[in-house]
Amino acid sequence: MFHVEKISSFDAPELAPYRTLRRSAEHEAQGIFVAEGDKVVQRLLESRFPVVSVVLPENRLEEFRPLLAARAENIAVYLADRKFLVTLTGVELFQGVLAVGKIPGKLSLDELLAKSPSPKLFAAVDGLTNAENIGLLVRNCAAFGAHGLIVGETCSSPFLRRAVRNSMGAIFLLPVVETASLVQSLRELRARGLRCIAAHPHTDKKILSQADFTKDCCIVFGSEGNGISPAVLAACDEAVAIPMPPKIDSLNVSAAAAVFLYEANRQRGGIV
């Protein structure tokens, strides 16, 4: 269900989220997020996430009509000239497709554990502040069969606009727990029988191929610059490294996550 309105400005109060695209923290405080781009908006409309409104170039309405009509809520669809929409981002190649969705209610660790099949596979992040990397990590989790992502208190939200965009809509599929204490969450997982494995490049004790990912486990990834904090590292059962030449000491966190999660999925027989 939807209703259509043509616009030539974003001055109206209900259009404020589009007017303030670069202020994602404000959106998060309001319990909303902005999705941008064809694929991300399409996947939002296909998801169970509540949708508030959509902005489209006038010639794109028919393309999105079936998805809009299938929604239960009455979505406001704003149509505008594509050249005007480009002014929102200043990027000429901008697709001009935007939407505002509602951030779902907070998921608890207990709820994540209850809804995840065994053997459980979680990822956790510590100190990850780059929204693009958060989004890429979410996408990797969804691609390689993780049952959920645990976001530490020192991380950026996975619902920031750039994170949602870089996840390519995978954030609508992956359960996320935003914890007030990653150390405490890891302790709780260990108490429930999950092995917490730190993806830590500076270790000579165990390399990736020697780690066992076949049982319930959570793989912990650190920040772009400092890696995993000492307190979080101490809360893990073991540290595991990706073997690399001496002159290369680490990978980008999203690349490292892809390698670890691929190996975990391979060990579980999930990849042919």
Q: Per residue in 238-255, pLDDT tens?
A: 999 998 888 777 789 999
SS in 3 state form for 101-142?
EECCCCCCHHHHHHHCCCCCEEEEECCCCCHHHHHHHHHHHH
- Tokens matching residue 210: 């020697």
Residue 266: its H or E element: helix 253-267
Look at the block and give the residue holding tokens 């020192």.
Answer: 154
pLDDT score at 272:
44
Q: Note whether residue 272 is domain-resident.
A: no
User: Which pLDDT band, with edges at 50, 70 and 90, does 271 fall under?
Assistant: low
State the Cα–Cα distance between residues 1 and 75, nearest whole angstrom: 6
| Domain CATH for 48 | 3.30.1330.30
Other C-beta atoms within 10 Å of 231: how many?
A: 12
pTM attached to this predicted model: 0.92
Whether residue 74 is found in the same domain as residue 166: no
CB-facing half-sphere around the CA of 105: CA atoms within 13 A: 3
- Give residue-wise pLDDT tens across range 43-98: 999 999 999 999 999 899 999 999 999 999 999 999 988 777 777 655 554 567 99
Domain, as residue range, for 41: 2-102
In 10 A of CB 265, how many CB atoms?
A: 17
Indicate the DSSP class of residue 156.
P
- Mean pLDDT on 198-218: 89
Domains in the chain: how many in total?
2
Q: Are residues 148 and 234 located together in one domain of the fold? A: yes
Is the same domain home to 177 and 154?
yes
CATH code for the domain of 239:
3.40.1280.10
Both structure tokens of 4: 């259509």
Q: What pLDDT does residue 53 have?
A: 97
169 Cβ partners below 8 Å, 6+ apart?
35, 39, 40, 42, 43, 44, 47
Same domain, residue pair 97 and 115: no
Residue from 175, 178, 48 nearest 122 by CA: 175
pLDDT at 246: 80
pLDDT at 223 (0 to 100) = 87
Round the average pLDDT of the chain to a whole number and report it: 92
Model pLDDT, residue 8: 87
Gap between the Cα atoms of 172 and 49, Å rounded: 7
